[in-house]
Amino acid sequence: MRFKCTMGLRNTLIVMALLLSVSTIPFSGAASLKSHAFFNETGELPCHFPNTQNLSLDELVIFWQDQNKLVLYELFKGQEKPNNVNPKYIGRTSFDQDSWTLRLHNVQIKDTGSYQCFIHHRRSQGLVSIHQMSSDLIVLANFSQPEIRLIANQTEKSNIINLTCSSIQGYPEPQRMYVSLNTTNSSSTYDAVMKKSQSNITELYNVSISVSFPIPPETNVTIFCALQLEPTKIILSQPYNIDAKSPVPSPPVPDHILWIAALLVTVVVSGMVFLTLKKRKKKQPGPSNECEIIKVEEKESEQTAKRVELQEPERSDEVQCDVNISKTASDSKSATDF
Ligand SMILES: *[C@@H]1O[C@H](CO)[C@@H](O)[C@H](O)[C@H]1NC(C)=O
Ligand SMILES: *[C@@H]1O[C@H](CO)[C@@H](O)[C@H](O)[C@H]1NC(C)=O
Ligand SMILES: *[C@@H]1O[C@H](CO)[C@@H](O)[C@H](O)[C@H]1NC(C)=O
Ligand SMILES: *[C@@H]1O[C@H](CO)[C@@H](O)[C@H](O)[C@H]1NC(C)=O
Ligand SMILES: *[C@@H]1O[C@H](CO)[C@@H](O)[C@H](O)[C@H]1NC(C)=O
Ligand SMILES: *[C@@H]1O[C@H](CO)[C@@H](O)[C@H](O)[C@H]1NC(C)=O
Ligand SMILES: *[C@@H]1O[C@H](CO)[C@@H](O)[C@H](O)[C@H]1NC(C)=O
Ligand SMILES: *[C@@H]1O[C@H](CO)[C@@H](O)[C@H](O)[C@H]1NC(C)=O
Ligand SMILES: *[C@@H]1O[C@H](CO)[C@@H](O)[C@H](O)[C@H]1NC(C)=O
Ligand SMILES: *[C@@H]1O[C@H](CO)[C@@H](O)[C@H](O)[C@H]1NC(C)=O
C-alpha cells in the first residue's frame, strides 16, 4: 500500500528487494526441494543462499538440522562448532562454501527425510534470521542386474523349465519381477509372487521369484528376467538362450567345465609321457626329472619296485615313475640323515 504514495528509483529498489525475499519463502514452505543420493555415497543438502549483501562467513551463523531437530553441522563466525552437532552426524558432513551446500557422506536409508538450513546474521542487536530452506533427501540403492538360475533337477524329456531369478541390495522396494519368454514370433510373460527380504541393518531389499513354465521344443527361445522398479523403469537380466529341439538348456559353458576338460587333457598327456618313459627305462634305466614331484613312502615303493622287477604286465606307468623318485628321494634322505 505504501508504495503507491511515492514513485521513484529508490522505492522501486525496495520493492525488488521485497519481491526477492518473498520469492525465497516458497522454498522453505511445502514445496521443498528434493535431493537424491545413493546408498553409501554422498548426499547434498542445499541452502541456496543468494547472499545479495555479500556477507562474509564471519558475520553469519549457519546450521543444518534434520526433521527431528538434531543438528548436523554448525558454522559460527566462519568456524565449525561441533558442540551442538548430534553424534550420529559427527565426521559425516562437509560444508561447500561456494554453493552453500552441506554434503552428508556415507548416506544410509535411514537418512531419508527432510532437512533444514538456517542462516543468521550477527548484528549489534543479536542474531537475525536472514535465510532458511528445506530440502528432502531421498536415498536410493541400485538393485543388481537380475540373474537367472535354472533349477538343475529337471528330467531330460520334460519341456517344463524351472528357474529362479534374483536381484539384490536395492531400495526402495520394486514393483514387480517377471520372466519373459521370447521366440521369433511370440512372447509370453510369467509372473510369480516376489519374495522379498529386507536387511534390518541397511534396510536394503533382496528380491527373487521362482517360476516354472513350458517351453516350445521346436523353436529357439530366449528368456529374460525383468525387475520393474517404477512403471517406466525396468532392469533386464542377461538373455538366457535355449536352442531348438533340445529341452535341456545350453547356457554358455561355465568355467569349471573348461577346467575339468583341461585337467582331463593333462592327465591323458601325462599318461602318454609316463608310457614313453617306461619304454625308455627298459633300455636305459635312470631317474626321470618329470616324475620328481610325486612322493611315495619308502617301504611301499620298495615293494612296488620288487613287483616291477617281476614285470607285472598291468602295473601302471605311474608306479614305474614312483619307483625312480622314491629311490632317488630315499637315497638323498639317507645321505642327509647320516
Ligand atoms: C560402502 O562403500 C565402501 C567404499 O566407499 C565399500 O568399501 C563398502 O563395502 C560399501 N558398503 C556397502 C554396504 O555397500
Ligand atoms: C564480496 O566481499 C569480498 C570481501 O569480503 C570482496 O572481496 C568481494 O569482491 C565482494 N564481492 C562482491 C560481488 O561484491
Ligand atoms: C544407479 O543407476 C543409475 C542408472 O539407473 C546410474 O546413473 C547411477 O550411476 C547408478 N548409481 C550407482 C551408485 O550405482
Ligand atoms: C530332484 O527331484 C526329486 C523328485 O523329482 C526330489 O526328490 C529331489 O529332492 C530333487 N533334488 C534336488 C536337488 O532338488
Ligand atoms: C519346479 O519347481 C517346483 C517348486 O520348486 C516343483 O514343485 C516342480 O516340481 C518343479 N518342476 C520341475 C519340472 O522340476
Ligand atoms: C513365425 O512366423 C512365420 C510367418 O509368420 C512362420 O512362417 C514361421 O513358421 C513362424 N515360426 C514359428 C517358429 O512359429
Ligand atoms: C520379446 O518379444 C517382444 C515381441 O515379440 C518384444 O516386444 C520384446 O521386446 C521382447 N523382449 C525382450 C526382452 O527382448
Ligand atoms: C541379500 O543378499 C546378499 C548377497 O547374497 C546377502 O549378503 C544379504 O545377507 C542378503 N540380505 C537379505 C536381507 O537377505
Ligand atoms: C536384526 O538383526 C540382529 C542382528 O544384527 C538380530 O539380532 C535381530 O534379531 C534382528 N531383528 C529382526 C527384527 O529381525
Ligand atoms: C537356433 O539357433 C541356432 C544358433 O544358436 C541356429 O543355428 C538355428 O538355426 C536356430 N534354429 C531355429 C529354429 O531358429
Query: Which of 140, 170, 190 lies at the terminal end of a domain, its last residue?
Result: 140
184 and 210 in one domain? yes
Domain contains 93: yes
Nearest atom (ligand 3) to Cα of 233: 5
159-178 tens-digit pLDDT:
888 999 999 999 999 999 99
Q: Is residue 46 located within the same domain as residue 114?
A: yes
DSSP per-residue letters across 239-308 = PEEE-TT-SS--PPPPHHHHHHHHHHHHHHHHHHHHHHHHHHHHHS----GGGTT----HHHHHHHHHHH
Which residue range(s) make up the domain with 223?
A: 147-242
Q: Which atom of ligand 6 is nearest to the CA of 216?
A: 13
Q: Is residue 272 part of a domain?
A: no
Is 201 part of any domain?
yes
Identify whether residues 93 and 189 lie together within a single domain.
no
53 close to ligand 9 (CB < 6 Angstrom): no
8 Å CB contact between 275 and 317: yes
Does 270 map to a domain? no
307 in any annotated domain: no
Ligand nearest to the CA of 239: 7
Phi/psi of residue 68, each to 5°?
A: -100, 15
pLDDT above 70: residue 78: yes
Q: What is the pLDDT of residues 82-106, one digit of tens each?
A: 999 999 999 999 999 999 999 999 9
DSSP strand pairing (71-76 vs 176-182): unpaired
Q: What is the pTM of this model?
A: 0.67
Ligand 8 in contact with 159 (CB < 6 A)?
no
- Taking alpha carbons only, the member of 121, 104, 115 closest to residue 51 is 121
pLDDT at site 70: 97
Q: What's residue 277's pLDDT? A: 55
Q: Are residues 159 and 130 in the same domain?
A: no
Q: Three cell numbers at 210?
A: 521362482
Q: What is the pLDDT of residue 331?
A: 42
Which residue puts its alpha carbon closest to atom 10 of ligand 6? 185
Count of domains for the chain: 2
- We report the CATH number of the domain holding residue 112 as 2.60.40.10
**Is 256 a domain residue?**
no
> Which DSSP symbol is given to 237?
P
Whether 31 is in a domain gets the answer yes
Chain segment 65-76, per-residue pLDDT in tens: 999 999 999 999
In a shared domain, residues 108 and 162: no
195 touches 241 (CB < 8 A): no
Q: What angle do CA 118, 120, 123 make, to 5 degrees?
A: 175
Question: Are residues 16 and 111 located together in one domain of the fold?
Answer: yes
Mean pLDDT of the chain: 76
Ligand 6: nearest atom to the Cα of 185: 1
